[in-house]
Amino acid sequence: MGERTNLRRGYYFEEFEVGQKIISAGRTITESDIVWFAGLSGDYTQIHTDAEFSKNTLVGQRIAHGMLVLSEAVGLAMRTGVLEGTVIVFREITSWKFIKPVFIGDTITVTLTVREKKAIPRLKGGLVDIEAEVVNQTDDTVMKGIWSVLIASRLK
């Protein structure tokens, strides 16, 4: 069972345990999010921005940018508080898969599962590999992969 509420802020490297699960709050993807992200990124691809065009696509409606949803997932992970103030650097994203589309009005959550830890004393911390699984309101996995994050050690 994953943790959801009353998480202490800023877990140090030593406090992460392999197999530990942390579940974020939810966030609903809005049309404003898509418009804002298109403007920020310059990605005005029609499947995201043109409702009439999107009616004739495989999914039949506009979808959120995959990178928008990934960005929101990172934000939801940060909202859990466990990475607050202890992240040294977000190092790598590996084996990321975009599995299902996210539509306007979908609510996503992210489950973080600690997969591996490696102490790096010379950097005063350690590398934590976290599997991030993003699900929608019907519990369908929409994307997932591994984030490698360098976390500060409590032991200086």
Structural domains for the chain: 13-152 (3.10.129.10)
3-state secondary structure of 34: helix
Would you state the pLDDT for residue 9? 82
* DSSP secondary structure letter of residue 85: T
| φ, ψ of residue 106 in degrees (nearest 5) | -70, 145
Q: What is the 3-state secondary structure (H, E, C) of 119-133?
A: EEHHHCEEEEEEEEE
Per-position pLDDT tens, the chain of length 156 = 455 445 678 999 999 999 999 999 999 999 999 999 999 999 999 999 999 999 999 999 999 999 999 999 999 999 999 999 999 999 999 899 999 999 999 999 999 999 999 999 999 999 999 999 999 999 999 999 999 999 999 986
CB of 113 closer than 8 Å to CB of 16: no
Q: How far apart are CA 108 and CA 72, in angstroms?
A: 9
Q: How far apart are CA 133 and CA 131, in angstroms?
A: 6
Cβ-proximal residues to 115 (8 Å cutoff; 6+ apart), any chain? 18, 129, 130, 131, 146
Stated pTM of the model? 0.91
